[in-house]
Amino acid sequence: MTHHTHLTRFATLCQAAGGTVPEPIAHAIELVNAAYACETRPTGFLDLTVDEVPAMVTDLAVRSHDSNFDTPEMGKDGLNLGVKAFAQALNDEVRIAALPYLDQLVVDLRPRFDPIAATITEAATTYGFTYRTNSDDVVELDNDDAVDAWRSLRPALAELMPIAQLRISMSTLFSVGPLLEDMQRFTAPFERVRGVNYSVAFAAGDNWATDDAYYLEPVNRGADSARSIDWLELSLRGLRLNTPSEVQAKIADRYAEHLRQPATTVSEA
Amino acid sequence: MTGATRRRELSSFLLGQQRYRVKANAVIVPRMGGGEVYLYRHNLLPADASPAIVEMLLRSGAIYEIEETR
């Protein structure tokens, strides 16, 4: 008897021959199977209670100490390895668990977003205000309503920023559209995508872009600020706070359209 | 319009007042409206300073936030 697999084989032979597997052997097989089951990494971290966390961290720390002694963090960090493993595993789980809530979160924010959007849209469509309009121009208009609209524009934009920033961080944290990959789909091969244009998350209709349009500055990787968006230009054809699912649908629709367009041939270019 | 070649600046009224002051000896700040501005210590950042750079400078401690003034 050298290996536990021989036990399993012996048990199978016993059954095939019509004999009864001796009790110690059956029990040993059970035990060894239970031992090997310990190797599987635990899951379901999000279901844990706070009291269960320390035991899990110890467990994960032990698992993280493998035979690879060259790793610099090996041995000296103790339970910290388990803490890191726990946090990482939890991050992955929380992302998947939170996804269904994101759409609802956006829908719940709409009652706050819509009146702000209406103020901005009115200023842009009725009076033609842009980000390059200055207060002198408004005074020159000699129209009290225009002055009021201009005045209410600033608090409206200030109130809009936290909502817009939240919607943008949904995309950056939980990898829901619009993403850099979505932008890449509309650019020519080998053309570099510099960043995500978030206009699609706030466009009522087809007024969104994957290049630098609807932005005050060129779109940049890592620059995910709602302040860079040209809200007045975007509002000319309607503002709407779009859920991740709606954004995905918009991108898919335009991509289907994009594929239908004939490719530019060398002779045309 | 000051000239055919020059674009008008972005409205500082809409973008909000300057909220950051330079702490480092000098910083170079790109502006959303185009171009960049060189600022020495104690100067205020323009309202149209590029948000990504503002965030980076803030993290590195080269600028600091001040109370918004009207």
Q: Are A42 and A18 in contact (CB under 8 A)?
A: no
Residue among A161, A254, A172 at smallest CA distance from A221: A172
Distance CA(A175)–CA(A210), nearest Å, equals 17
Are A217 and B11 inside 8 Å of each other by CB?
no
Those residues of chain B that have pLDDT short of 70 are 1-6, 17-18, 68-70
What confidence score (pLDDT) does residue A251 get? 94
Contact status, residue A234 vs residue A199, Cβ threshold 8 Å: yes
In this complex, do B11 and A216 lie within 8 Å of one another by their Cβ atoms?
Answer: no
| A241: nearest Cα among A181, A180, A166 | A166
Put simply, whether A153 touches B (Cβ < 8 Å) is: yes
Residue in the block written with tokens 């310990």:
A38
For chain A, give the mean pLDDT.
88
**Mean pLDDT, residues A65-74 taken together:** 60
pLDDT at A167 over 80: yes
Q: Which of the four pLDDT bands, split at 50, 70 and 90, describes residue A148?
A: very high
Mutation test of the interface with chain B: which of A129, A130, A131, choosing the one with the most B Cβ atoms within 10 A? A131
Residue A73 has pLDDT above 50, yes or no: yes
B17 → chain A, closest CA residue: A154
A103 φ/ψ sector (left φ>0, alpha ψ -120 to 50, else beta):
alpha
Quick check: helix, strand or coil at residue A238?
Answer: coil
User: For residues B36 and B6, what is the distance between their CA atoms, to the nearest angstrom?
Assistant: 14
pLDDT of residue A192: 82
Burial tier of A134 (Cβ tally within 10 Å: 0-12, 13-18, 19+):
middle
DSSP B1-65: ---SSSPPPPPHHHH----EEE-SSEEEEEBTTSSEEEEETTPBPPTTB-HHHHHHHHHHTSEEE
Pairwise CA distance, residues A99 & A261, whole Å: 33
Q: Give chain B's mean pLDDT.
A: 85
Could you tell me if residue A18 is left (phi over 0), alpha (psi between -120 and 50 degrees) or otherwise beta?
Answer: left
The Cα–Cα gap between B8 and B31 comes to: 12
Q: What is the mean pLDDT of residues A220-232?
A: 86
Residue type, A210: T
> According to the model, what pLDDT value does residue A188 have?
80
Best to test chain B binding among A216, A220, A221 (most B CBs inside 10 Å): A216
Query: A-chain residues within 8 Å CB-CB of B14?
Result: 131, 153-154, 157
Residues of A with Cβ-Cβ distance to B34 under 8 angstroms: 217
CA-based end-to-end distance of chain B: 26
**A49-58, A63-72, A145-154, A169-178 — which is least confidently predicted?**
A63-72
The predicted-structure confidence for A188-208, as pLDDT tens digits, reads as follows 878 888 899 999 999 999 999
Residue B9: the pLDDT is: 86
Residues belonging to chain B:
70
DSSP assignment of A190-222 equals TPPP----GGGGTBSSS---SSSTTBSS---TT
- Taking alpha carbons only, the member of A161, A200, A186 closest to residue A256 is A186
The model's pLDDT over A28-59, given as tens digits with 9 standing for 90+, comes to 889 988 998 888 888 888 888 999 999 998 88
Q: Report pLDDT for B45.
A: 93
